[in-house]
Amino acid sequence: MSQKQSSPDQADQAHQASIPTTTPATWLGVMGGGQLGRMFAHAAQAMGFKVAVLEQEEDCPAGQVADRLIRTSYTDAKGLEELASLCGAVTTEFENVSADSLAALAAKTYVAPSAAGVSIAQDRIAEKRFFVDCSAGSGVQPAPHKIIASEADIEAISSDLLPGILKTVRMGYDGKGQVRVRSIADVKAAFAEMKGVTCLLEKMLPLAYEVSVLVARGADGAAVVYPIAENVHRDGILFTTTVPSDHVSDAVAKKAQDAALAIIAKLDYVGVLCIEFFVLTDGALVVNEMAPRPHNSGHYTIDACITSQFEQQARAMARLPLGDVRQHSPAVMLNILGDIWYEGESENMREPAWDKILALPGAHLHLYGKAQARRARKMGHITFVAPTMAQAQAQLAAACAILGIAL
């Protein structure tokens, strides 16, 4: 599904600014050294680009494969200057990179997505306000919510907002910075536990399932949207992503995709954006949050789509035409956490049986090069592709049995 929103003048300007790919000296830059940067580097290098990564840690997943690692903090002026002078375009693989740093880079090179777009996603209050502003065009609202910045705000909570989830406004991900609350007393205790930082209380809604929409937009205004993914979380961390899902009706899929296209257009965003939605038990659609980068739920695109989310990000950064988002095979993605290196509840560790995993038809193993496995740490993922979803699900079940993961 695609959408074109550009004038001939805009298209000409984008063409004139496009980065040539005929020379191996063409560099793309990444702020952040995690696994998303690693997979981006693989995709960009396959297209003929060189990749520079700015990250303080030496043995980081992206740095292991990058053509150059600039070892500085995300706010170091000299490091930012080196990245900007080297690269024809820069992106971020981590939404909590300083928006000020992205703005500084933008003064000297092309940055996608922009600091303005990233800053909205970094702040839950700004994000919710933005979603409300978008609702006239998207047709989708966020969950009822309230800002909690003081004890007085807690006392003023309306009873219809409870039970809810109290979330820190900034720096929360993978279930961190979130507490379920059922009463005013619970909110007070959670607020104190969070050291009184500004939070957002969101009403808990009757959730049927969660979906995410990957959407990409080019500098010329052209936009494409991937098939809808159904996500299952455990302890706040993504467990599986299934595409296509039997639960997602054509009507829900179209509404979510149309909403994603409206949101990315209003942001004037360039690059890959992931937007998470809740589908309620009555079929209603609610927008939850967005990530201004490729996303864990989009990893299936590497093995199951014509153009992966990471190649799409490189195309958008380089102001090249966006790629085909068609899915050629049903797919299920399984997150691999550090827990599977441990023998049960003990601290004894051993290597998982990758030979047995790779003997499964359609299994694609992606490990992230992290030196140490820790419980709840994302270490890799496996995507199962097959002619039918039933076959992909069967391989998922077999892999979980091998790895000792309960389904």
CB neighbour list of residue 284: distance below 8 Å, 6 or more residues apart: none
| 231 has binding-site annotation | no
| 205 has binding-site annotation | yes
CB neighbour list of residue 224: distance below 8 Å, 6 or more residues apart: 1, 2, 3, 215, 216, 312, 322, 323, 325
Whose tokens are 């520079």? That residue is 52
38 vs 60: CA distance, rounded Å: 9
| 203 has binding-site annotation | yes
Outline where DSSP puts E strands in 120-163: 141-142, 145-148
CB 224 within 8 A of CB 165: no
| 362 has binding-site annotation | no
| 124 has binding-site annotation | yes
Decide: helix, strand or coil at residue 27. Answer: strand
| 173 has binding-site annotation | yes
| 175 has binding-site annotation | yes
Nearest CA to 106 out of 92, 94, 96, 124 is that of 92
314, 316, 318, 319: CA torsion to nearest 10: 160
Decide: helix, strand or coil at residue 52. Answer: strand
334 vs 397: CA distance, rounded Å: 10
- Burial bucket for residue 198 (CB in 10 Å: 0-12, 13-18, 19+): middle
| 288 has binding-site annotation | yes
- Residue 126 vs residues 122, 131, 185, 351: alpha-carbon distances, Å: 8, 9, 27, 43
CA angle 402, 248, 393 (to 5 degrees): 15
CB neighbour list of residue 294: distance below 8 Å, 6 or more residues apart: 36, 39, 40, 93, 214, 272, 274, 309, 310, 312, 313
| 176 has binding-site annotation | yes
| 42 has binding-site annotation | no
| 177 has binding-site annotation | yes
Residue numbers in the known binding site for ATP are 124, 167, 172-178, 202-205, 210, 233, 288-289
Residue numbers in the known binding site are 124, 167, 172-178, 202-205, 210, 233, 288-289
